[in-house]
Amino acid sequence: MSEYVAPIRDMRFVLKELAGVEDVAQLPGCEEATLDLVDAVLEEAAKFAEEVLSPLNWPGDQEGARWHDKAVTMPAGFKEAYQLFADSGWTALACEPEWGGQGLPKVVAAAVGEMWKSANHSFSLCPLLTTGAIEALVLSGSDDLKKTYLDKMVSGLWTGMMNLTEPNAGSDLAAVRTPRRAAA
């Protein structure tokens, strides 16, 4: 049984009454984001969060990812959940149709992303980082980079990642320090 229950009623209220999703649907490129479509997306996202992601949350935390023989092994069920996630089109929700995306407004994707984070934060980091990498490429990437990466990332075949390191800190981000400026 799932421990997470998506707050669909609250999300509908926020999207309609506070975010003005009906007004957003009047913007160029957002015309398909009707209340009926947004409701259907929220319902399906809730099912995925509750039935697929939430049940993997605790076991995933207990098992963790493992590094062995130059490869990472994800906790049991994560690979299959990601494949289902990508096959279901969740990776493409707010991405540009030009690259295979569904073109839904980011405000809808934000509500859906909140479900992923709440149901299974560990799992949600992969699509989160991919979304950031896609946005960086769309906004600043060369045409060659876009052609090489975007369709594969939007489809979920490839993912984005984050590499952070600092001399003498390794992957311990708590040890990262900014240099002090000398007083003038």
pLDDT digits (tens, 9 = 90+) for 99-126: 999 999 999 999 999 999 999 999 998 8
Share of the chain above pLDDT 70, in %: 87
pTM for the predicted model, two decimal places: 0.83
* CATH code given to domain 8-169: 1.10.540.10
Domain spans of the chain, in order of start? 8-169
Supply the pLDDT for residue 166.
62
* Band of pLDDT at residue 130, cut at 50, 70 and 90: very high
Each as own residue / partner, the long-range contacts of residues 4-8 (CB below 8 Å, 24 or more positions apart, any chain) are 4/49, 4/50, 4/53, 4/54, 4/57, 4/118, 4/119, 4/120, 5/50, 6/42, 6/45, 6/46, 6/49, 6/50, 6/115, 6/118, 6/119, 8/42, 8/43, 8/46
